[in-house]
Amino acid sequence: MGRDREDNRKGSWRMKGKVFVDTNIFMYARGKNHPLKEACTRIILSIAKRESIAHYGIPVIDTEVFQEIIYRYAMTGQWDVGISICQDILILGMEVLPVGNSEVAQFLKLAEKYKVQNVPPRDLIHTAVMVSSGINHIITADKHFDDIKEIIRVAPEKVRAIA
């Protein structure tokens, strides 16, 4: 696999409705130098300017995004960095989708279905939230999302700035 499945039904990957923004977009934008840092920073700036609403859908996240960020930085003793990133995400004003009973039930179905592919459970939580919320697209660098048939991955470098 290793490629992002794009929705070309309308001649463009640009989508309407809501789009999920994966944790790695925030991590690459805020982290050290990385080949995707510029693209991810551009996405975050677009969200901050509210340009994303008209461009690639209303950006949303779930509560798991915050847990992932805090976990990653807490494991290296950098709680303050993780907390700071999470506070900055809150300031962006994106809708934060909950992980409730229906999302957990959906997660368990997805875990059963994708256990052979070794998709990380955290990413199956995101997928469950997306499926439960009727969201089809995720902006992420994680190529294993290509293996999940319920959603379509949009690579960060494919997200275009508004002209």
Q: Which one, of 22, 51, 11, 50, lies nearest residue 155 by Cα?
A: 22
Domain ranges of the chain: 18-158
Fold of 18-158: Rossmann fold (3.40.50)
What integer pLDDT is reported at residue 118 of this predicted model?
A: 85
pLDDT at 65: 98
- What is the full per-residue pLDDT of the chain (163 aa) written as tens digits? 344 444 433 333 344 689 999 999 999 999 889 999 999 999 999 899 887 665 678 899 999 999 999 999 999 999 999 999 999 999 999 999 999 999 999 999 999 999 998 899 999 999 999 999 999 999 999 999 999 999 999 999 988 754 3
Say how far apart CA 21 and CA 62 lie, in whole Å.
9
- Please give the pLDDT value at position 10: 33
pLDDT at position 31 is 86
